[in-house]
Structure 1
Amino acid sequence: MMRILQIAPAFFEFQRGGTELCARSLHRSLLNQPGVESHLLACVPSWHAKPGAGSDFLAPTSGRGETGIAIRGFDHFHLSQPDHLGTLRAFRDFLETYRPDRIHFHHLLYLGVEGIAMARRTCPDAEILLTLHDYYAICANDGLMTKKPDGALCYAAQPHACLQCLPEASIEAVALREQGIRAALELLDRMIAPSAFLRDRFLAWGVPAERIVHQPNALPEGWDGMAHLPARDRRAGEPAVFGFFANIMPHKGLHVLLEAALWLKAQGVEGFRIAVHGADTHAPDAYKARIAGLVETLGPAVSMRGAYGHEELPSLLAGVDAVVVPSVWWENDPLIVHQAAAIGRPVLYADLGGLAEAGAQSGGTGFPASDPAALAQRLREIIQLDGESTRTEPALAAIGQRHRPEKRPA
């Protein structure tokens, strides 16, 4: 019996991100596999939930083989877990009890570089993997590889350049951060890059080519059979409906979509609606104000639908004529592109980084990133399909079968 441990930075129920969903999906896909015993260990920061007195573990979900480990503090800059007598000791105890044959980290957040070191010391014969869902290891600016204050794209991490985004840090601190992360990555058997673009960024950062493989993400559980889900067929004279599905943050590019809509309005184009699905909980106040101003100007052409549940997503996707992904950062392998394609919804995507890869694979249509006029032209092409179906061939419906974790290269 092979024991596989997936380690997530949070439970998906508490933090609805792609990283958390991927970790949970890989775990649940293995639960009924013969010869495999799977467990999910998710970090639970204190702002999500707190364990009972005297305990470091909790079970806030009903999922089989899912455990939470309490996180009481974390050094985000160094990606370091300083609580050696609490969190790290509890992690060691869990590893000694479960004794996994494979340990699959999905982020450096919360267990930190020390978590990888603890896994290697406690389970010296285990295979230890890390899926790189973003650029956190390279970039201390929330792993975005964008520059402050304007969000310009960044192509490489260089200590002196990094200080422009991190004025409170020193050159020594930036160098120490990189040294600690590189030392932890050396302890891994393999890193997994969901996009070729991300792999190239890590190769440029100095990771040896033989230690990092390109492996696209699998679709979440339950999505393999979505190809035949009834989808919207727009009638003649009806407005085209464009869907945006993401947290409302500057790097997700909602402003680009809304500015494209303004461009269409200025050209006298009226036959469209934009449905914005996502919360602005973590958005900077200035960005919230910017979006609010655009929404007010566009009036009834835009509806702000708020956050959505994972179980709602298939029907929400099926209810739009096209999905727009206007991100202004590199992205990696955004699940929403694959999910839209699995249902047969066309995707309009910013031609940038891993998003360009996923969009091209989905059969979508690209446009230059951060260019509202170019996006407006793509929107107009959909609008002009008055009464024609926009349904695409769900070419990615089998992606979940192609990338199950037990089939990863040796």
Structure 2
Amino acid sequence: MKIVYVSYLHPSVAPGGAQQVAFEMFQASLSQGHDAYLIAALEANHDQIYGKPGAPIVPMQGEERQYFYFPQHYDFLHLSVGDWRSIHFFRDLIERLAPDVIHFHHYHRVGVESIRAARLAAPNAVISFTFHEMMAICMADGQMVKKGTRELCHAASPIACNKCFPDLRPEFVTLRKSRLLAALAECDSFIFPSEFIANRYVDWGLSPEKCVVIPNGQANLGGAFDRSQHSPQVNRFGFFGQFIDNKGVDVILEALLILGREQRVPASGIVVEINGGNKHYASPSYMEKISLQVEELRKLQSRIVVRENGAYGRDQLEGRMSSIDWVIVPSTWWEIFGLVVSEGWMFGRPVIASAIAGLKERVVPDGNGFTFPARDSRALADLLVTLVSDEGRWKRVNSSIEQPWSEVDMLDAHIDIWKELVSQRATARPSRSIEPPAMRGRARKKAERMNVVSDRKTATVVS
């Protein structure tokens, strides 16, 4: 099968979940004998480093089958590329590659016009779109967190969106939604990594018959790792991810402050390691809050150690996981999937996560991890106290952790869907609902072992 993957950014240029998933699917496709290509849309100014003067698309230097795409005049509000020449070059490349499947992993920087261009370039190809965020629904960076108050937003509407963007009239929100739905209608299937985001997009207006839930997979980086290792006091906690507002570093620090102020720190102490970069994306007010929390913790001198290790690459993940016992995922927004949960499980680390959205679906309390109410630092503090030095509890959860889906498991599930759709196109049968495919090989066995059952009728859960 010839497959073209289209992503926003590339892991070699900037880390991020969506681009990592797209890249690993591309690699898995090649390893499984498929004819695969990757087109990564970069920021417009990246062409000064990675591009050539006047060329919207160039081959990635030193790599085969990979291209950098530099769409010009991108409009974030409309998720739109305003430069016809960029879209023309994108269409031309798709036409030359003549794929059976075109798999979009984003519209950010790529532009929704690229979906229509792909359809014109390859009218018989299957077009799939994986949603890693909610940018189409929410203009506030796709986070569905209200501007100003930072409250969680439960549903988008013209009136609600106008309160976050008072300079945009409600009818603008209506027209924007109609335009985006029309562009996305070119797709044959919509893929979601969690039930939560699938439900959000169906409620927003996507055709439920096209919606399928497939979990993200990752290359297993912990194959040779001793998953049973832990510190003597099992008192080492780690945060992994972006050091930005909605990832919840402040929730961890506030939990530690509660324990320090109330003199509830266990005798063995608590160690927290912060692994994360991209502070420049955090708001100034958030960074000021973090600084004040760290300063107060320093003054308390209460057997609490906080280490900031900075950004990390995937090649450093094993070393950083080996120094902690538990992984904390304290997200304060609607976390779609949580790749860091998979990373923790790769190394046998029990996960302590906010009970919200995709995290709530994945982490089972006292099963493969623990949960606490999102944004509730006191609940997290209480949980930390019960876990420190409880080796028996750590071992029980550690032994229950299933290896997360690999990139090949993820690909297998997609291939089953694509084969059915390719067959429909080849025989010119009218479109119909996507029936739950019989997964093959490792993907099928993994799903059976995990024994996940869903009563959802508009999306197939295969995790």
Please report the TM-score for the alignment, with normalisation by the length of structure 1: 0.93
Q: In the alignment, which residue of structure 2 is the partner of 1:170? A: 169
Aligned residue in 2 for 1:392: 398
Partner of 2:256: 261
**SS state of the match for residue 145, structure 1?**
coil
Deviations 1:242-297 (A, max 9, x none): 11111122111111111001111123205101111112121111111111111122
Query: Which residue does 2:362 correspond to in 1?
Result: 358
In the other structure, the counterpart of 1:200 is 199
Question: How many pairs were matched up?
Answer: 403
- Find 1:402's aligned residue among 398, 405, 409: 409
Find out whether 1:367 has 2:372 as its counterpart. yes
One-letter code of the match for 2:275? Answer: H
Deviations 1:314-360 (A, max 9, x none): 22123211000011111111111011112100100000011111223
The match for 2:40 is: 42
Partner of 1:234: 231
Given residue 167 of structure 1, which amino acid in structure 2 is its aligned partner?
Answer: P
Cα deviation, residue 96, structure 1: 1.5
* 1:29 match: 28
Counterpart Cα distance in 2 of 1:323 and 1:364:
9
* Residue 82 in structure 1 maps to residue 82 in structure 2: yes
Q: Which amino acid aligns with 1:366?
A: T
- Pairing 1:284-323 to 2, within 5 Å after superposition: 284-299=283-298, 301-323=305-327
Question: Quick one: distance in 2 between partners of 1:73 and 1:231?
Answer: 51
Normalized against structure 2, the TM-score is what? Answer: 0.82
Paired with 1:98 and 1:60, the residues of 2 have a C-alpha distance of: 16
User: Shift of the alpha carbon at 1:168?
Assistant: 2.7
**Cα gap change, 1:60 to 1:98, in 2 (>3 Å):** closer
2:442 corresponds to which residue? none
Is the Cα contact below 8 Å between 1:231 and 1:318 reproduced in 2? no
Paired letter, 2:247: K
Cα separation, partners in 2 of 1:387 and 1:366, compared to 1, 3 Å: closer
Does the 8 Å contact 2:25/2:407 carry over to 1?
A: no
Gaps of 5+ in 1: none
The farther-off stretch of 59-68 and 176-185 is: 59-68
Q: What amino acid maps onto 1:162 in structure 2?
A: C
For residues 337 and 74 of structure 1, the distance between their equivalents in structure 2, rounded to whole angstroms, comes to 33
| Alignment partner of 2:384 out of 365, 379, 387 | 379
In 2, Cα distance between the equivalents of 1:387 and 1:106? Answer: 41
Q: How does 1:273-284 map to 2 (within 5 A)?
A: 273-279=271-277, 280-284=279-283
Structure 2, unaligned runs of 5 or more: 299-303, 421-463
Per the TM alignment, residue 113 of structure 1 is displaced from its structure 2 partner at its CA by 1.3
1:14–1:48 CA contact under 8 A, matched in 2: no
Where do 4+ consecutive residues of structure 1 move more than 6 Å? none
**CA contact 2:353–2:363 (8 Å) conserved in 1:** yes
Map 1:83-162; keep pairs closer than 5 Å: 83-85=83-85, 87-162=86-161
Root mean square deviation, CA, Å: 2.1
Q: 2:99 is paired with a residue of what secondary structure?
A: coil
2:328–2:353: 8 Å Cα contact kept in structure 1? Answer: yes
How far apart, CA to CA, are the structure 2 residues paired with 1:369 and 1:334?
Answer: 14
1:338 counterpart residue number: 342
